[in-house]
Amino acid sequence: MMAAVADEIAGVEGRGRYRALVARRLLMLSGLIAALFLSVAVDMALGPANYPLADVLTALFNSGAVSDQLRVVIWDIRMPIALMAVTVGASLSVAGAQMQTILANPLASPFTLGISAAAGFGAALGLVAGVAVFPVAVQYMVPLNAFLMAMLAALFIHFASTMRGVTVETIVLLGIALVFTFNAALSLLEYLASEQALAAVVFWTMGSLTKATWPKVWITAAVLAFAAPLFARHAWALTALRLGDDKAASFGINVRRLRLETMLIVSLLAAIPVSFVGTVGFVGLVGPHIARMLVGEDQRFFLPASVLCGALLLSTTSVVSKMIIPGAVLPIGIITALVGVPFFFVLIFTNRRRAW
């Protein structure tokens, strides 16, 4: 159709440059995968006893060739923690990425919508008052409380956003209101708590990977594996959402439905990790921003990059948390920002392109 008109003017070939851009991005993703693999291996090498990286790799790929002790330490003790860092970081980062996308707000993250704050309150309810939101065996009470409160907050936001006249800005404001409400409720519980319970709540809200077990790793990984293809299927539509609602609708996208569907999946992605490892801030906010600066916002690259950046961020954080005080593992929630912020600053100040 355009050929005849376009023939008037000789155009520069954009095709080649686009293919080169895609190749650069694939290279970037490969680099992130390699860095993540290295970080996970180092994470498993460090601990009360430090092992050479070569021994760790042998234990991973040829476990018969290493001592039983090393095999147990790597596979049963350190690997769940190292992989929990990966799955939690990835889930929170993707959740943040899609929240930022559907709410058109660079500050959106599992925190902004009050999901983490709700989880913290749910956990405290169990730790301080021994109240189970849903009666189960006592060892699951805290994570289940956290999860149910997080989902409650998410569903509140979800149904609020289906109401007529509720805009994207209103949703963000509602989320912030939830953050304050749950934080106030949490403070009240802390004020009333015994010293022992208070310590438990404070530790929980700092976030720690030491609570990781294989089943928790599998559940988080399964939720991520369920969510990622759903987002991937809508990759073009989600990217188009960033051009504004009117433009996206003009592309034939059912904006309202896409936003609601995404919100539901995001709620699950954000609630599960937080209920297992406690409040891990920052990754959900900054992971997607780093991904955006590296590969842009085409979701075909942005989605995997968000997964990898979040995973890498939390995995390196896990490494650092073991290195600051030898022999001690600091709660990861404390370290996340300390590791991420310098890297984030470097990216902001060296990136020539606008990042939002």
Partner 1 sequence: MVALRLDAVGATYGRRTVLSNINTGELKGGRLTAVIGPNAAGKSTLFKRIAGLAAGPGLVHLSDTAKGPETICYMPQDTGANAVLTVYESVLLSAKQGSGWKVKDDELAEIDRVLAALRIDDLAFRGLGELSGGQRQLVSIAQALVRKPEVLLMDEPTSALDLFRQIEVLGFMKRLSAQSGMAVLIALHDLNHALRYCDDTIVISSGSVAASGPTETVITADMLKSVYRVEARVEACSLGRPVIIVDDSIPVR
- Which of the stretches 28-36, 173-181, 246-254, 260-268 binds partner 1 when contact is defined by CB under 8 A? 246-254
Residue whose C-alpha is closest to residue 262's, from 94, 148, 92, 89:
94
**Site for partner 1 contains 13 (CB under 8 A):** yes
- Using CA atoms of 84, 305, 99, 184 in order, give the dihedral in degrees to the nearest 10: 40
CB of 26 to partner 1, least distance (A): 12
Range list of H helices, the chain: 3-6, 14-45, 53-61, 68-72, 79-103, 115-129, 141-162, 168-192, 195-206, 214-233, 235-241, 245-250, 255-277, 283-295, 299-323, 332-350
195 binds partner 1 (CB under 8 A): no
Check residue 170 for interaction with partner 1 (CB under 8 A).
no
Beta carbon of residue 173, minimum distance to partner 1 (angstroms, whole number): 20
Q: Is 242 in the site for partner 1 (CB under 8 A)?
A: yes
Q: Which stretch binds partner 1 (CB under 8 A): 9-17, 36-44, 155-163, 258-266?
A: 9-17
Does 345 help bind partner 1 (rule: CB under 8 A)? no
What's the start-to-end Cα distance of the chain, in Å?
35
The number of helix segments (H) and strand segments (E) in the chain equals 16, 0
Tell whether residue 163 is a contact of partner 1 (CB under 8 A): no
Q: Which stretch binds partner 1 (CB under 8 A): 19-27, 171-179, 192-200, 306-314?
A: 19-27
Which of 8/195 has CB closer to partner 1?
Answer: 8
**Smallest distance from partner 1 to CB 306, Å:** 13
Minimum CB separation from partner 1 for residue 307, in Å? 16
Q: What is the CA radius of gyration of the chain?
A: 22
Cα separation of 269 and 267, whole Å?
Answer: 5
Kindly state the smallest distance separating residue 63's Cβ from partner 1, in Å. Answer: 37
Q: Quick one: which of 158, 216, 259, 292 contacts partner 1 (CB under 8 A)?
A: 292
Q: Tokens for 279, please give them.
A: 């409040």
Q: Residues 99, 110: contact at Cβ < 8 Å?
A: yes
Residue 346 CB burial class (10 angstroms; 0-12, 13-18, ≥19): exposed
Among residues 155, 235, 337, 338, which is the contact residue for partner 1, using CB under 8 A?
235
Return residues touching partner 1 (CB under 8 A). 1-6, 8-15, 17-19, 21-22, 164, 232, 235-237, 239-240, 242-244, 246-247, 249-253, 292-293, 296-298, 300, 353-356
